[in-house]
């Protein structure tokens, strides 16, 4: 992630406010679903955002029959699905049933097969994807973080999974990516905050030193030039105009030639958002 990536988000770090990065986390957590309306400082974690539109695909909900064959686990590995999401189940499942003969792949289960116990409580068993399946899904995710129905279908067929499972996997995968990115960004912002705090502290101290210097040498202007002190950090002559500063804040001048000792100054205030190398 480049620094610019996280800095073009309208995020503002304000010095002088108590740095509480945890608020950031909270904000992200609560900005649910209204991605477009984020006004709070936030990081936009945009994924590739392929947009596609599909037509309704009709399917027949197949009855029982598929078996779970787990390669690496000793559990039965039957995945169950609540029947409440019929809409979701209305996906193309053609071809899934073709995979019955495979000996090594996970095969999807069906709603009707989902054993409910006597009380009718569905027993949700967790499917564990094989390494092969995970690897292929990962590969696919690298190519596209979202899938169109055809891709989903093809992938599902390839993996002997139901399209819904592929879809869920991609959803969860996107969520994990986003979470990871959020953590990274949070760390980055913490560092930025620390850096800026340090910088501010340093500048405040520098200002105090300059003020003290000015007080101790009130008539320095009449002294020979050789005795003038030079600011060690910015190579600006001490006692230059406008060193008064207001209320503890450090004025960052643009190097305008106003006083008798005006020198072109280096840009002193460093903004981690524009100076990535120095920031973190």
Residue range at the interface with DNA (CB under 7 A); choices 170-178, 192-200, 215-223, 266-274: 170-178
Residue of 26, 11, 6, 31 lying closest to 188 (CA atoms): 6
Q: For residues 270 and 234, give the distance between their C-alpha atoms in angstroms, rounded to a whole number.
A: 12
Which of 81, 93, 192, 237 touches DNA (CB under 7 A)?
81
Count residues contacting DNA (CB under 7 A)? 53
Question: Is residue 61 at the binding interface for DNA, with CB under 7 A as the rule?
Answer: no
H or E element at residue 179: helix 163-216
Is position 37 an interface residue for DNA (rule: CB under 7 A)? yes
| 77 touches DNA by CB under 7 A | yes
Cα distance between residue 90 and residue 241, in whole Å: 75
> Which of 1, 64, 143, 175 is the binder for DNA (CB under 7 A)?
175
- State which residue, 24 or 169, has the beta carbon closest to DNA: 169
CA 169 to chain centroid, in Å, comes to: 19
Give 237's strand partners: 230
Inter-residue contact 161 to 92 (CB < 8 Å): no
Contact between 69 and DNA by CB under 7 A: the answer reads no
Q: How many CB atoms lie within 10 A of CB 271?
A: 17
User: How far is it, in rounded angstroms, from Cα 141 to Cα 178?
Assistant: 13
Choice between 85 and 205, CB closer to DNA = 85
Query: Can residue 36 be called a binding residue for DNA (CB under 7 A)?
Result: yes
The rounded distance, in Å, linking the Cα atoms of 271 and 196 is 8
Decide: is 32 part of the binding site for DNA (CB under 7 A): yes
State which of positions 128-167 bind DNA (CB under 7 A).
128-129, 134, 146-149, 164-165, 167
Rule CB under 7 A: say whether 99 interacts with DNA.
no
By beta-carbon proximity to DNA, the closer residue of 111 and 210 is 111
26 near DNA, judged by CB under 7 A: no
Residue 230 phi, psi dihedral angles, 5° rounding:
-115, 130
Burial class, 79, CB count within 10 angstroms (exposed 0-12 / middle 13-18 / buried 19+): buried
Q: Does 62 bind DNA (CB under 7 A)?
A: no
Token look-up 């996970």 returns: 106
Does the protein bind DNA through residue 190 (CB under 7 A)? no
| Interacting residues toward DNA by CB under 7 A | 29-30, 32-37, 47, 50-54, 56-57, 73-75, 77, 79-82, 84-85, 87-88, 90, 123-129, 134, 146-149, 164-165, 167-169, 171-176, 178
């Amino acid at each position: 992630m480049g620094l610019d990536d996280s800095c073009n988000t309208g995020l503002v770090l304000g010095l002088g406010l108590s740095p509480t990065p945890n608020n950031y986390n909270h904000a992200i957590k609560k900005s649910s679903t209204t991605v477009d309306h984020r006004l709070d400082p936030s990081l936009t974690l945009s994924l590739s955002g392929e947009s596609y539109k599909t037509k309704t695909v009709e399917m027949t909900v197949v009855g029982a029959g598929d078996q779970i064959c787990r390669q690496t686990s000793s559990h039965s590995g039957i995945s169950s699905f609540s029947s409440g999401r019929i809409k979701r189940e209305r996906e193309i499942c053609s071809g899934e049933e073709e995979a019955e003969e495979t000996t090594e792949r996970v095969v999807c289960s069906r709603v009707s097969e989902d054993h409910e116990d006597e009380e009718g409580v569905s027993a949700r068993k967790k499917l564990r994807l094989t390494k092969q399946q995970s690897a292929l899904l990962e590969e696919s995710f690298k190519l596209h973080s979202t899938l169109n129905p055809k891709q989903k279908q093809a992938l599902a067929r390839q993996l002997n999974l139901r399209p819904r499972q592929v879809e869920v996997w991609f959803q969860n995968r996107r969520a994990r990516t986003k979470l990871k990115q959020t953590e990274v960004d949070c760390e980055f912002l913490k560092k930025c905050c620390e850096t800026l705090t340090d910088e501010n502290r340093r500048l405040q101290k520098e200002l105090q030193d300059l003020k003290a210097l000015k007080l101790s040498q009130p008539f320095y202007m009449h002294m020979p030039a050789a005795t003038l002190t030079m600011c060690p950090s910015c190579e600006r002559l001490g006692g230059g105009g406008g060193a008064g500063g207001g209320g503890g804040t450090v004025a960052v001048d643009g190097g305008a030639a106003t006083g008798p000792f005006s020198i072109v100054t280096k840009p002193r205030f460093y903004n981690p958002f524009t100076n990535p190398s120095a920031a973190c």
